[in-house]
Copies of this chain bind each other. A is one copy, B any other.
Amino acid sequence: MAIKRITITELAKELNTTPSTVSRALRGHECISREMRDKVNDLAIKRNYTVNRLASSLRSGSSKTLGIIVPRVNRDFFSNCISGIEEVAAKAGYTSIICQTHDEQEKEEKSVLSLIESNVAGILISTWSDSSQSPAFIEANRLGIPVIFFDRATKDINQNKVVVDDNLGAYEGVKHLIEQGYKRIVHFAGPQHIKIYNDRKEGYLKALREFNIPIDKNLIVENPLSKDIGYDAILPFLKGPKKADALFSASDYAALGAIIRIKEMGISIPDEMGIVGFSNEMFTSIIDPPMTTIDQHSKRIGNYAVQACLEAIKEENPVFKNIVLSPTLIIRESSLKKPLRIINK
């Protein structure tokens, strides 16, 4: 049943010409006569010719494939980044391979190597690790494959990054809580070896300091951020000596878990407990009450990242780019102790 695919050699034979000419004609080379170009293209369509990208890339030494590595695709934030990347990539004729790491460093390493094996022209990654000095990255570097870090970048200087000003985002979120009159603000901080979470914690601390609110380390919870963990982690702060009156979570999902618990306990949001999340996941706008959160312009992160990548592929001399976007605080009911008009003053 399986029929072997048509090759340019066969097209050439049928037209009494050579593979070189066919190849050039198909790629629209200037130096081929109109007549020949048309003849070749017509036959190619007639015979259902499809280029063999393996052979093409192998020979030319350049592929039109990008690699994308994210923790998981089922987060609005990441799937929007991916859309942003593919949008631009497709226009430039690039395909992309998407890998998920599920936040496991080993899978990340493997993904990078696998992409190298697949001869990708560039790699776009939201990394788990705190350093770009892992063997896989070094290897990509050695081979001249540009690596663009987006969202989660490392602290290293010499790399291409497209990130959000997480510090600023967190600062704005916490400042908003303080202005609303909240005083004891819990912070779900996330693993601190990941730079974005460290930055968000710094933003949280900065806001507290600025408003002379004493920093209580007991209010800071550092752990992986998920709905289930948030559900458990908020408990100690709902009554007793550690009782708090607000939560700033570095993740919408952890904040969601907390909200579920808080509602179960019959505690009122935002009156007794204010909530601010991070990422503007789709669900934050539809839950009850709608959650204040910080939008990271995910799609645009993708746009910028792939632009930087395509440029890096073209350029021979590596000039590292560091693009920082400002996040946007989205104020919703979960943090509105005061009526909205006072805020908008």
Question: Which residues of A are interface residues toward B (Cβ below 8 A)?
Answer: 1-5, 48, 50-55, 57-58, 63, 65, 72-74, 76, 79-80, 82-83, 86, 95-100, 113-114, 116-119, 135, 139, 142-144, 256, 260, 282-283, 286-288, 317-318
Contact = CB atoms under 8 A, between A and B. Distances in A.
Given A54-B57, A83-B100, A143-B2, A256 B118 contact: no
Nearest to A97: B97
B144 A113 contact: no
B73 A63 contact: no
Given A54-B63, A79-B79, A100 B74 contact: no
6 contacts: A2-B144, A3-B143, A50-B117, A54-B58, A54-B119, A73-B82
B139 A48 contact: yes
Contacts of A72: 79, 83
Contacts of A114: 95
A292 to B, nearest CB: 16
Each complex incorporates copies of this chain amounting to: 2
A322 B86 CA distance: 32
Given A98-B98, A287-B286, A48 B142 contact: yes
A65 to B, nearest CB: 8
A116 B287 contact: no
Contacts of A51: 117
A76 B65 CA distance: 26
Nearest to A86: B100
Nearest to A139: B48
Given A76-B74, A100-B83, A5 B287 contact: no
Contacts of A2: 142-144
A116 B50 contact: yes
Contacts of A98: 73, 96-98
Contacts of A282: 74, 283
A96 B54 CA distance: 15
Given A1-B144, A86-B100, A52 B286 contact: no
A159 to B, nearest CB: 14
Contacts of A50: 113, 116-117, 139
Given A53-B119, A74-B79, 18 more contacts: A3-B142, A4-B143, A5-B143, A50-B117, A52-B119, A54-B57, A54-B119, A65-B118, A72-B83, A73-B74, A73-B79, A73-B82, A74-B76, A86-B100, A260-B286, A283-B283, A283-B287, A286-B287
Contacts of A117: 50-53
A345 to B, nearest CB: 27
A201 to B, nearest CB: 26
Nearest to A61: B4
Contact of A287 (B58, B142, B288, B318): B288
A56 to B, nearest CB: 9
